[in-house]
Amino acid sequence: MVFLLILLVIILIIAFKSIKVVKQSEVYIIERLGKYHKIADAGLTIIIPFIDNVRSVVSLKQQTMDIPPQGVITKDNVTITIDTVVFYKITDPAKAVYEIQSLKKGIEYLAITTIRDIVGKMDLDETFSSRDAINDRLRVILDESTDQWGCKVDRVEIKDITPPADIRDAMEKQMNAERNKRALILTAEGEKQSAITIAEGKKEAAILEAEADRESQIRRAAGEADAIKKVAEAKAKEIELVYGAMKDAAPDDKLVQIKSLEALESIADGEANKVFIPFDATSALGSIGAIKEVVKDEHSKNKSKKEN
């Protein structure tokens, strides 16, 4: 009975040593008699007890490594503290176990030396404005260096850059001065733009007013010209009617001469008017004078009779 119990215990120990369950996203590095044998993927794996041994359990997930803050001297001799985080993934578990003693320590030391090399070639202002460039250069250098360790660096991020206290105070004062400068520039630009807009508005108003005045004068002149044209047309029609009436009446020479004299009489009414009578009109004037004397004598005779 005791023998059976001992045998059962031995079987259980052997089974425990032989059967391994590998979790998802993990692999086992199996050694046989101290030598690399195989990589056991996720699932059930059976090994030979006391001959095979699980050297290491390697995670295939993406992992993060927080690099301790490091003091770095810039090109202009300013000591700053840089805090960095590295994102990496193991692509070859065997290399990650056998090619380096400690993969995390190797990545950490490599990141520290690379940061000091990159930032040491930059000025202080450039380190603040070139974070993306520093991250990319760090990632490329770390990825190339860790490839021999079966590791791929996916991303490197600088979490924080901390300058000394006195440098921070100077930078804050400089930023305040820059803000005030930009505010004054924007205010001046606004006033300038406002003055330009007002001047342009006055200019456009003056132009519109001049155009309106010119348009008004043009329309007034056009109206006067139209009125003169209509008056001239009316006069022309009147002369045409008079001429037609005279033509229809068929006047004789004596009537024409009498009308001419009546016209001369109206012309001579002015004090400063001098009238030159044509020679042809003297005979008509003589006849009219004789008629006037006859009429005058008749009038005198009638008056004397009335007195008697």
Nearest to 52 by CA among 102, 8, 92, 14: 14
Q: Are strands 43-46 and 79-90 parallel, antiparallel or unpaired?
A: unpaired
Nearest to 64 by CA among 138, 155, 159, 160: 155
Burial class of residue 138, CB neighbours in 10 A (0-12, 13-18, 19+): buried
The answer to whether residues 64 and 85 touch, using CB atoms and an 8 Å cutoff, is: yes
Joined together, the tokens standing for residue 31 give 């050694």
**pLDDT tens series, the chain, 308 aa:** 677 778 777 777 777 778 888 888 899 999 888 888 898 888 888 888 888 888 889 999 999 999 888 888 888 888 888 999 999 999 999 999 998 888 999 999 999 999 999 888 888 888 888 888 889 999 999 999 899 999 999 999 988 888 878 777 777 777 788 888 888 888 888 888 888 989 888 888 888 888 888 888 888 888 888 888 887 787 777 777 766 666 666 555 655 566 656 655 555 555 544 555 554 545 544 555 555 554 455 556 655 655 55
pLDDT at 140: 92
CA pseudo-torsion sign 96, 97, 99, 102: positive
The answer to whether residues 135 and 120 touch, using CB atoms and an 8 Å cutoff, is: no
Q: Is 123 helix (H, G, I), strand (E, B) or coil?
A: coil
pLDDT at 303: 58
Nearest to 157 by CA among 64, 61, 60, 59: 64
Backbone angles phi, psi at 24, to 5 degrees: -65, 145
Q: What letter represents residue 263's amino acid?
A: A
63-163: CATH number:
3.30.479.30
DSSP state of 279: G
Domains of the chain: which residue ranges? 2-59, 63-163, 186-249, 253-307
The answer to whether residues 124 and 74 touch, using CB atoms and an 8 Å cutoff, is: yes
